[in-house]
Structure 1
Amino acid sequence: MLKIYRPIGVLWDMDGVLTDSGEAHYISWKKSLDHHGIRFSREFFHKTFGMNNNGILSLLFERDATEQEVGDIGGLKEELFRKDIQGTLELLPGVGQWLQRFHQAGVPQAVASSAPQENIDAIVAELGIGDLFQTLVSGSKLSGKPDPATFFLAAERLGFAPIDCLVIEDATVGVEAARRGGMKCVAVCTTHPKDDLQDADIVVDRLADLNPNDIELLFKN
């Protein structure tokens, strides 16, 4: 059984950590932007994966995206995404084991994602893991990662200081957000290579490879 030497909270990113939804995101972005006559490359998608819609569109337009643009373009993208994922998602290797391991150790858990709340609710329901989380936090209307605002809100809802939180991420902007927020971080190489994730405390190819002893040592002192 996992031994945690002091109370902590675990903040899970969602896309690329709980499940591999990257291709569905790319396809729905491509469809929405094609509909609006805007070019969108896979290279740009990978560069911005993990950011919220406002951040992605602002980088794409090379200016601040308007509220209407985020609503129209991002809104269509999310509608397409939620339709496309139905019946297609599964937990990534090791995720179910770690969710249960933290749960059995009495460690509170949160989803802390840049995705809209509707996406988080839909994916958690699709995966059947809602009873393992104390809160589901969307950063879609907050300052986007690498700003740690989403993680700060999730930590606050769980009742923990940032120093007592573990973030599980796959994106470079998410790892940077955890570092800026003063949180420990495990990075999973679902969407980025190890070399891009070296600011994390621990980097693994998949959560099935994560050693419980390494988590225990992160919070021993």
Structure 2
Amino acid sequence: MTVAATEASVVIFDVEGVILDTEPTWDEAQEILLARRGRTYDRSSVKHLITGLGDVQAISVIVDHYELDEDPFKLASERREIMRELLGRGVRYIPGAWEFITTAATSTDICAATSMNPQLLGAALAGSDLQARFPGPVFTTGTGVAAKPAPDLFLHAAAELGATPEDCLIIEDSPTGIAAARAAGMRCVALCTTHERRRLLQADLVFERWAEVPRPAGRRRTGDRSRTPNGTCPKSK
């Protein structure tokens, strides 16, 4: 089962919680945002509902959960500003991510697909060397593609790489991302880097850390993937 679940010619990585360790930063931003309104951020009851969602989608969940009588668009803008300031301190990588990426890139095509706001992704890129190091395109919702849990972002990434859903293996860390992978008809491996295992059981396989994930069994479909129409990382700002 393990080998079958990881057979792929294309590996699609989520970014946050899979490559970049931004989730603690999001938690801090949520704490700040809610503290300004006299609320206490309850990670255990909210985190799994918002991880992987687009900007306004996530804020809408927070608004409903905390019964905030405010415009979600204005709150999303405020949270983005908090995040941009926090991301300016620098971003760390998830331990083991680069070893896996480097190995996977020798035998498969790889790319990343994230629902992260493109401006915030730019801030994260400025706080890391991901843009220079990652050997594939990074697809975002900035191309007008619907955010997870819709399957559109993964299907868009596969199409840009000339792959079918059956060719692809998704690596995710959230229930939202897993739902998107399943809706896209793609296999999915989940990492317990952000959520506990019980919230990730809809994935084909679940692992505690990168070191446990089998290297994908597959072969590269193409040669140079430096051409990345509609998928290039946004410029750092």
Taking structure 2 as the reference length, what is the TM-score of the superposition?
0.75
Give the aligned partner of residue 169 of structure 1: 172
Q: Choose the corresponding residue for 1:210, options 208, 213, 235.
A: 213
Give the aligned partner of residue 75 of structure 1: 77
Write the distance in 1 (CA, Å) between the matches of 2:58 and 2:187: 26
Decide whether the 8 Å contact of 1:82 with 1:122 is kept in 2: yes
Give a deviation string over 1:152-196, Cα, whole Å, max 9, x none: 122222222222111110001111111111111110001112222
Write the distance in 1 (CA, Å) between the matches of 2:157 and 2:36: 35
Deviation of 1:87 (Å): 3.9
- Matching of residue 183 in structure 1 with residue 224 in structure 2: no
Distance verdict in 2 for CA 1:160–1:85, change over 3 Å: same
Taking structure 1 as the reference length, what is the TM-score of the superposition?
0.80
Deviation of 1:91 (Å): 1.5
Give the aligned partner of residue 155 of structure 2: 152
Write the distance in 1 (CA, Å) between the matches of 2:172 and 2:7: 22
Q: Choose the corresponding residue for 2:200, options 197, 200, 216.
A: 197
Write the distance in 1 (CA, Å) between the matches of 2:31 and 2:7: 45
Secondary structure class of the residue paired with 1:92: coil
Q: Percent identity?
A: 26
Write the distance in 2 (CA, Å) between the matches of 1:34 and 1:69: 17
Decide whether the 8 Å contact of 1:94 with 1:209 is kept in 2: no
Give the aligned partner of residue 55 of structure 2: 53
Give the aligned partner of residue 119 of structure 2: 118
| Root-mean-square deviation over aligned CA pairs | 2.9
- Matching of residue 17 in structure 1 with residue 33 in structure 2: no
Q: For residue 189 of structure 2, what is the amino acid of its counterpart? A: V
Greater relative contact order (CA < 8 Å, ≥ 6 in sequence): 2
Decide whether the 8 Å contact of 1:52 with 1:115 is kept in 2: yes
Distance verdict in 2 for CA 1:56–1:205, change over 3 Å: same
Write the distance in 2 (CA, Å) between the matches of 1:36 and 1:139: 29
Give the aligned partner of residue 94 of structure 2: 92
Secondary structure class of the residue paired with 1:211: coil
Give the 4+ runs in structure 1 shifted more than 6 A. 36-39
Write the distance in 1 (CA, Å) between the matches of 2:178 and 2:46: 19
Deviation of 1:125 (Å): 4.3
Write the distance in 2 (CA, Å) between the matches of 1:199 and 1:118: 30
How many residue pairs end up in the alignment? 207
Distance verdict in 2 for CA 1:120–1:76, change over 3 Å: same
Distance verdict in 2 for CA 1:111–1:79, change over 3 Å: farther
Distance verdict in 2 for CA 1:83–1:108, change over 3 Å: farther
Write the distance in 1 (CA, Å) between the matches of 2:88 and 2:64: 33
Deviation of 1:41 (Å): 3.2
Write the distance in 2 (CA, Å) between the matches of 1:147 and 1:82: 26
Alignment gaps of 5+ in structure 2: 1-5, 219-237
Deviation of 1:114 (Å): 1.3
Give the aligned partner of residue 131 of structure 2: 130
- Matching of residue 44 in structure 1 with residue 46 in structure 2: yes
Deviation of 1:129 (Å): 2.6
Write the distance in 1 (CA, Å) between the matches of 2:214 and 2:8: 19
Give the aligned partner of residue 104 of structure 2: 102
Alignment gaps of 5+ in structure 1: none
Write the distance in 2 (CA, Å) between the matches of 1:163 and 1:30: 40
